[in-house]
Amino acid sequence: MLLTLACGSLFFPGLFALCTWGLRRARPAWTDSDCVMISTRLVSSVQAVLATGSGIVIIRSCNDVITDRHWLAREYVWFLIPYMIYDSYAMYLCEWYRTGDQSRRQSLTTFQSFLSKNRLMITHHAVILFVLVPVAQKLRGDLGDFFVGCIFTAELSTPFVSLGRVLIQLKQQHTLLYKVNGILTLTTFLCCRILLFPFMYWSYGQQQGLSLLQVPFNIPFYCNVANGFLIAPQIYWFSLLCKKATRLFDAPPARKDGSTPRDPTHVEGPAVF
């Protein structure tokens, strides 16, 4: 546990610092805000790949969705804790660079702006750290590694969300890549963050000889409540992505400087973990 926590505490901030340093050297014309934001997205994408890979390994190794065990189901959660703390600070750092007033790095105004714009994401991070981590590591006992693996795979959509934000930052909304990435974002988000929950219910039903509709009435009530809390923000974020998608193929023409007006439906990239 302690070794995994230490590795995560070094890996994510270290990768962020390395990416920022590399981008500043490779793209000297980019602003500090560009380098920091893109580095943040790169680290998020790396974490997403690691989480998705861990989830797939866990799912494939668990024939019994209730009792089968895999060490990654617990160990990766310890690795994830430093990421959630790092990511909270990285979001604030992006806000600080976005304001452009570096003399007010620790100012109350900047911090209040950060809290106001990221209320849902901050709450999401806090719930993961103070609720889901204790549940995953202690309260569930030795059961349910399969479902932990399923939750990990929800991160599959994160690299596409991150790429979309990078393209917006670089004013590439008019490109074919941006449109293709938008389709992939919607597809992976729907499959891995929305349909994931019916899949978990279906998997349990297959093992217990229950239909999908029977499962909610044959599991503890708190399981349904917990899944409801997990899927609710995903549905909200998916609705925002759908609104954005309606404008994807009807974007306003580029300005003379090559930029496009800021997308009014833009929200910070969602994340389960």
34 Cβ contact partners less than 8 Å away, ≥ 6 residues apart: 23, 27, 169, 170
Indicate whether 30 belongs to any domain: yes
Residue range 49-64: mean pLDDT, rounded: 95
Q: What is the pLDDT of residue 189?
A: 94
Q: What is the pLDDT of residue 126?
A: 85
* Structure token pair of residue 234: 């995903």
Q: What is the pLDDT of residue 150?
A: 95
Residue range 222-244: mean pLDDT, rounded: 89
- Please say if the pLDDT value at position 260 is more than 60: no
Share of the chain above pLDDT 70, in %: 87
Weakest-pLDDT range from 96-100, 157-161, 172-176, 200-204: 96-100
Q: Measured in Å, how far apart are the chain's first and last C-alpha atoms? A: 19
Residue range 106-126: mean pLDDT, rounded: 74
Say what the pTM is: 0.83
Residue range 124-137: mean pLDDT, rounded: 85
Residue range 210-235: mean pLDDT, rounded: 91
Indicate whether 143 belongs to any domain: yes
Rounded-to-integer distance, Cα 263 and Cα 253, Å: 12
Indicate whether 273 belongs to any domain: no
Instruction: Give me the number of domains the chain comprises.
Output: 1
- Please say if the pLDDT value at position 264 is more than 60: no
Indicate whether 265 belongs to any domain: no
Residue range 169-189: mean pLDDT, rounded: 90
229 versus 52: which is more confidently predicted?
52
Range of the domain at 42: 2-246
Nearest CA among 50, 57, 205, 211 for reference residue 145 = 57
Torsion of CA 194, 197, 202, 205, to 10 degrees: -160
- Please say if the pLDDT value at position 31 is more than 90: no
